[in-house]
Chains A and B, each alone.
Chain A
């Protein structure tokens, strides 16, 4: 059996006192599209940079197609295409020269470089602009250029660090389509995002990462349900009410008292709000405040992390 496209074991990275990645493990199969979903500072980029051989981990190991990134570096790196978070093509080279350089660094023969470069630039709508300096490109064009460069050596595994974030609508659409297409062609895709909808759209499986720890790995649908469950209605009345009464409302999963306000966890805030209003009328209570919360990724991360411990 072929080794998994990506295999990460107990990877750790510390920056001074901060543990950016705290010993994570996961595996991505060949041809799979895998997402890393997490808030800012979760350790997504740090993980990618370790797995792709840019950063040296403090502990643990990463393998690409069976090659250890630290000991079989060249073999592992040759299998990888990377689109990092920050633009890192040469700003003072034209798009074409950047693409050719990318090919040379991976030892791609001249003819292949040229034909693949042309084909890829066309597919990303950059061919007409190939003689423009990269520095003069818009954000979306820069991102498309980096994808072109990442694909020139025909890598089996593609790493994309927040590939869609901050792009114009047209580029977003194009890049999303191409990612899906590359995955359909059999390439393994690993991408990071802090957008659940994005992960849902593009990934077969998603790992939720928070503070350097993986809280859960599941299908986007299952995770979405978990996240939906973090919806809540917050209410406060002019008098004390018994929590049990509120907990009995239909669709309420749990009730928490937080100072003067009461939080009712529910996947369906609409029903609960109506019930609360009815209840207030019947009991002749005054509603001081009433609001809906979530669904919140942050809460989902916390819930998942707590559930795991």
Chain B
């Protein structure tokens, strides 16, 4: 793996795909509206609210463009250029993840600072919060990249699949209701969701909850498993795109 080539891919992604509108729109507006619609009129603790919003913002930003880069490149023929260059599938996918994670962490970071100010919530452990965001961002981005392995040149196909996955996971991730308040089957499902891990670390970073390390390890594992899967599937489907 050559870092420079990974960064070259990431830089290209950021320049092309992330300067387009959809990221901001689906990354910021969506979670806010979505969240307000569900929390309106309900009593929620300040940290649960902030942690939920942060979690959703990162979730939406990290999975907004990452699934469509590959179909996009298939359509434009630029994928053929990448494939003919001395660069591996691992390097290309890592580049896409670095781009997606960089953008989503930046946007979510700013959103967090604003939220903390507006809602007067103090951030007890900013370092841990930051580490959680970064680990979650690469994991969520890897999920987006995995979804992109569907061998199509139609972004809408992948978008549909991605939306389905994104929304289903939100509902089982202890965002609207703390995991502890869920029925036991709900808790089992929630503990399978990486978004739950992020909300838990974020809550800890904001000064509640009793431990974060297990959630951080969970996020790391989620990344490793998802990324390995993404590389494996992309290697299989890549020839179908050319």
Contact = CB atoms under 8 A, between A and B. Distances in A.
B77 A104 contact: no
A49 interface: yes
A87 B77 contact: yes
Contacts of B42: none
B82 interface: yes
Interface size class of A (residues with CB under 8 A): 20 to 34
A54 B77 CA distance: 12
B16 A93 contact: yes
A68 to B, nearest CB: 14
Contact of A89 (B78, B83, B87): B78
A2 interface: no
Interface stretch (B4-12, B198-206, B217-225): B4-12
Contacts of B77: 84, 86-88
B239 A56 contact: yes
From DSSP, what is the main secondary structure of chain B's interface residues?
helix
Contact of A105 (B8, B15, B239): B8
Given A97-B15, A107-B2, A53 B78 contact: no
A192 interface: no
Nearest to A110: B4
Interface of B: 2, 4-5, 8, 11-12, 15-16, 76-78, 80-87, 239, 242
20 contacts: A49-B80, A52-B84, A54-B84, A55-B239, A77-B84, A84-B77, A84-B84, A88-B81, A89-B78, A90-B16, A90-B78, A92-B15, A93-B12, A93-B16, A97-B15, A101-B11, A104-B11, A105-B85, A107-B2, A107-B5
Interface of A: 49, 52-56, 73-74, 77-78, 80, 82, 84, 86-93, 97, 101-102, 104-107
Q: Which 8 A-B pairs have the closest CB atoms?
A: A104-B8, A88-B77, A105-B85, A77-B86, A74-B86, A88-B81, A92-B16, A86-B77
